[in-house]
Amino acid sequence: MSAAPPDLRACFDHLIDLTPPQREAWFAAHALDAELQQELLALLAADLQDAPLLATSAAALAQQYTPPYDDGAGLVGSSIGPYRLGAVLGQGGSAVVFRAQRASGAGMQTVALKLLRTGLFSADGQRRFRREQGVLAQLSHPHIAGLIEGGISEAGIPYIAMEFVDGLPVTAYADAHALDLRARLELLVTVCRAIDSAHRNLVVHRDLKPSNVLVNTAGEIKVLDFGIARLLDDDDQQATQTCAIALTPGYAAPEQYLPGPVSTATDIYALGILLGELLTGQMPPRSPARADLSRACADAAALPAGMPAAPVLARLLRGDLDAIYNTATAQDPGRRYHSAALLADDLERYLHNQPVAARTPSVWYRLRKSMQRNRTASAAALLALAAIVIGVSLALWQAHVAREQAQRATAVRDFLIELFDASKAGQLPDQRLTLDQLVQRAGTRLQTQTDLSVPTRVELLRTLGEVRMAGSDYAQAGQFYDQALELAQTFYAPTDTAVTRIRLLQASLLIHQSRYADASSIYAALLPQMRADISAAGVDGLQNYASALMYSARTEQALAISAEAARQAAAVYGKGTLGAIRADLVRGNLLVGSGRHADAVQLLESALQAWRSSGRAPDQDFLQGLTDLSRVYHTLGQMAAAESLLRETLATAERIYDAPHDRIALALLNLGDALSLQARLDEAEPVLVRALAMMRAVYGDGHLRVANTLASLGKLELRRRDPAAAARHIRAAAQWCEHPDRHATRSCIETYAIKTELALATGELDQADASSARALAMAQEIFPQGHHWMAQLWQLRAELSLRRNDPAAALALCDQAHDLLARLDKQHGTTAETVLARRASALAALGRPAEALADIHQALALWQQLAPAGNLHRIELLDQLASLHTRLGDSRAARDAARRAVALVQDRSRIEPALLARIEALAGR
């Protein structure tokens, strides 16, 4: 047996005590591997340096002594023990973590599998890895990711299989769900309790940070990765040696940068840093002196979603939370909380308005906390004292307000009497002013009539703008808003409510003009005022901001602001009120837009039913709710229910508004689209033509909704198999999306998809490639979690691959689309039918007609359900079916399918001649 190769540690230990000549002799006598010899020489040279080890920074030491490693990507797809490795979830200095699966019963079990890094198979490395298995085995807590098993693979690689947590880091989760201060503190209390459980099992984590504290999809906290944890009762000195500095700068306690043991105080420090990051959205400043969160919050460029404005948040953090943070992150470990449980207790005391242990218990502090806990008794005690002062002040203030309101009412009355004097009943009909003329005259007089006070003129100009907005005269509405703002800024402070509400109306007008990015910029600047304005105007502003974000392709931020608006609506209106119902309808609209139909349908059905039960007259919010619910029903394949809602929407809009009006036009467009999708083309065409005329009357050419209506007419002509007529509408529609300043929108995704269909119909394959690629890029930007439009685009690209004689690529795209629809639970709509038919074509082209037959039967059944009147497409599906039966040698079934297709032919000019000849030949005609 050959001798074992020399060990680096053993060689160094031998050479360190030799003189330089003795070392040279030793190297000459031993034939060492070149890499080993180089490492030995580097170590010996470092030993001769004059600078002591501790004179080098911790970061430099970490870089110098941490061995190089790869990212583990080369192991993806291989097997370790019973597990097959998937994507890399994370990596550190000593290990890589993979998503892995193994067979378990009738299904598959997903785990997080940690492997020791390639090239670190030293005895010390394996010992640390075995220790981690022992550490995890000691921990059993619902908020700590548990150990499943550990072992060593056939290749000698140690692994640990842990519970897989599908979630977000706690800070990202809090921001994504726009959690408020209380909710964020409650999350951290849960983390503290979990860490305290580990401490009581004599385990210190030593690397707490957001990426090691996840919140899963059910909202449950899970603490991960005790990869550098230290057992407090471990007396194995080798197990506590530091082979490489294992810490995360920013979260590591000061003592982790020094030689010596760590304790539970190390984790307390990291919990304090995590507290600061949760509450301020940034890493708190690291300073040997006191560093208050309230000061860091005031200096922050941006605050986390769901948190109040900086001045309000600074006031909430000042005092108790500053004291808790400074105690947890004290430089001296002895001055920190003695356990994670005590930190959790202090946070809970704050949440219950009790004195916290981190503060000096002065008499005034305890009195104030008592008053906060016992508000009713405290208010009664102070009421008698305050009554006299308040009573006198209120009487004086009410007298002043009454005089001001009386003066304003008189001025407004005189203004209106003079205004309407030009339209009295005694005058000749052709001399009376119309409503438009009256509004124009009012605006002119407000610019010149200075006997009215500035607040009165501002209010009247703002009201005139809202009148023109309701009448869809956006140009004049914008003029009135601009005049109102210019005048208000001469009288009010920039942050006054009067100024803010005019700017909110201007932003709302921009949304109606499809200028979503411009509207989002205004709302972002006004966000602190909207959050502080606990009123209907504040709720409306947040809801409109969420809509602008959604149409600006910022889906997650839109949903976070929408959730914030819903909470504020509940505070302003109360549960079950009309205001709360409106807020639910607005949020339902955003859920539909983000593709979350399961959540949307429940919310919309409940809100619409509550509206009907209230007996309240319908308005535009009710109409939008009906439209949104119809979109969900259509996606779910419930075509009759969707059409019924759209007809109700149109009838209600025509009853409420005078044509031309944007709400009537939009109802016509949606109904026309629904009829077109069901292949009821002769019914759909006059509805869409009327919608286009009204859209142009309301908006003028060049507006998004005009482009949407043109795209719908183009789609209708494609369904009629008339590409020439379709091209005129589609190219006009695409002009809006091709403007260089346009961002990704849902409308443009659909327009480019229709443009792809047109290019395929006319044989322009390069154009089809470019249009579908652009639409797909937009869809992936707006819907990172997937949307059924992506499946539609994949099947169009599958058709393109078939035209380019690449059926394998076409099948892969169809399978990708099918899997996405299954994941989204959207296997019953028109997209699902198209994917099935395209997949059958790909299978047939690959010589697999038997498999294709199953897909085409499913497509026929689904099309019969979705569009009973859709004979043109049904003829095409039956042609596919007949062709497949022919290839399988079943001439009778082929003839029956062809005869069914021929029987559906009504207008021979709308059917491709080759297809018509094929089915007639097979039918025996």
Cα(158)–Cα(572) distance, integer angstroms: 58
Residues 6 or more apart from 10 whose CB is under 8 A from it? Answer: none
pLDDT above 70 as % of the chain: 78
Cα(279)–Cα(179) distance, integer angstroms: 10
Average pLDDT for 456-465: 79
Fold that domain 73-163 belongs to in CATH: Phosphorylase Kinase; domain 1 (3.30.200)
Kindly tell me if the per-residue pLDDT of 289 is higher than 90.
no
* Least confident window among 13-17, 302-306, 430-434: 430-434
Average pLDDT for 876-893: 89
Cα(646)–Cα(643) distance, integer angstroms: 5
Q: Which two tokens stand for residue 814?
A: 């169809």
Chain centroid to Cα 625, Å, comes to 22
Residues 6 or more apart from 785 whose CB is under 8 A from it? Answer: 595
Are the CB atoms for 754 and 718 separated by under 8 Å? yes
Q: How confident is the model over 64-93, as pLDDT tens digits?
A: 444 445 567 778 888 888 889 998 887 766
- Tell me the domain boundaries of the chain: 73-163, 167-373, 403-491, 494-590
| pLDDT for the residue numbered 675 | 87
Q: Which two tokens stand for residue 605?
A: 């059905």
Average pLDDT for 531-544: 82
| Residue type at 306 in one-letter notation | G
Q: Tell the CATH superfamily of the 494-590 domain.
A: Tetratricopeptide repeat domain (1.25.40.10)
Q: Average pLDDT over the chain, rounded to whole? A: 78
Identify the band that residue 425 occupies on the pLDDT scale cut at 50, 70 and 90. very low
Are the CB atoms for 758 and 718 separated by under 8 Å? yes
Q: What are the angstrom distances between the C-alpha of 370 and each of 276, 348, 355? A: 26, 15, 8
| pLDDT for the residue numbered 70 | 58
Question: What residue spans of 804-911 are helical by DSSP H?
Answer: 807-824, 830-845, 849-866, 871-887, 891-903
Cα(557)–Cα(366) distance, integer angstroms: 40
Average pLDDT for 857-868: 84
Handedness of CA 270, 271, 273, 274 (dihedral sign): positive
Kindly tell me if the per-residue pLDDT of 396 is higher than 50.
no
Tokens 């940034």 sit at which residue? 282
Kindly tell me if the per-residue pLDDT of 254 is higher than 80.
yes
Cα(159)–Cα(61) distance, integer angstroms: 28
Residues 6 or more apart from 741 whose CB is under 8 A from it? Answer: none
Residue 828 is given by DSSP the state S
Identify the band that residue 55 occupies on the pLDDT scale cut at 50, 70 and 90. very low
Kindly tell me if the per-residue pLDDT of 614 is higher than 70.
yes
Kindly tell me if the per-residue pLDDT of 355 is higher than 70.
yes
Q: How confident is the model over 643-663, as pLDDT tens digits?
A: 898 999 899 888 888 878 888
Q: How confident is the model over 474-529, as pLDDT tens digits?
A: 777 888 888 888 888 888 888 888 888 888 888 888 877 767 778 888 888 888 88
Are the CB atoms for 257 and 206 separated by under 8 Å? no
| Residue type at 13 in one-letter notation | D
Q: How confident is the model over 136-179, as pLDDT tens digits?
A: 666 778 888 888 888 777 777 788 888 888 889 999 999 988 88
Average pLDDT for 289-303: 73
Kindly tell me if the per-residue pLDDT of 575 is higher than 50.
yes
Tokens 């033509």 sit at which residue? 689
Kindly tell me if the per-residue pLDDT of 48 is higher than 90.
no
Cα(650)–Cα(654) distance, integer angstroms: 6
| pLDDT for the residue numbered 38 | 81
Please tell me which residue, 198 or 31, carries the higher pLDDT value: 198
Is 114 annotated in some ligand binding site?
yes
Q: Is the pTM of this model over 0.75?
A: no
Cα(174)–Cα(276) distance, integer angstroms: 13
- Other beta carbons less than 10 A from residue 299's beta carbon: 11
Residue 214 is given by DSSP the state E
Average pLDDT for 734-747: 71
* Least confident window among 68-77, 399-408, 715-724: 399-408
Kindly tell me if the per-residue pLDDT of 382 is higher than 60.
no
Kindly tell me if the per-residue pLDDT of 112 is higher than 70.
yes
| pLDDT for the residue numbered 273 | 92
Average pLDDT for 659-680: 86
Kindly tell me if the per-residue pLDDT of 247 is higher than 80.
no
What own/partner pairs with CB < 8 Å and gap ≥ 24 does 757-760 have? Answer: 757/715, 757/718, 757/796, 758/714, 758/718, 758/723, 758/726, 758/727, 758/730, 760/796, 760/799, 760/800, 760/803
Identify the band that residue 428 occupies on the pLDDT scale cut at 50, 70 and 90. very low
Kindly tell me if the per-residue pLDDT of 359 is higher than 60.
yes
| pLDDT for the residue numbered 532 | 82
Candidates 772, 848, 850, 852; CA nearest to 804 is 772
| pLDDT for the residue numbered 449 | 61
Cα(314)–Cα(276) distance, integer angstroms: 12
Identify the band that residue 349 occupies on the pLDDT scale cut at 50, 70 and 90. confident
| pLDDT for the residue numbered 191 | 94
Residues 6 or more apart from 708 whose CB is under 8 A from it? Answer: 669, 733, 747, 750, 751
- The residues that bridge with 214 in the sheet, in sequence order, are 169, 222
| pLDDT for the residue numbered 472 | 61
| pLDDT for the residue numbered 606 | 87
* Least confident window among 106-120, 192-206, 538-552, 747-761: 106-120
Please give the backbone phi and psi of residue 115, each rounded to the nearest 5 degrees, phi first: -115, 140
| pLDDT for the residue numbered 673 | 87
Question: What residue spans of 574-703 are helical by DSSP H?
Answer: 578-593, 597-614, 620-635, 639-656, 662-677, 681-699
Are the CB atoms for 131 and 83 separated by under 8 Å? no
Q: Which CATH class is domain 167-373?
A: mainly alpha
pLDDT above 90 as % of the chain: 10
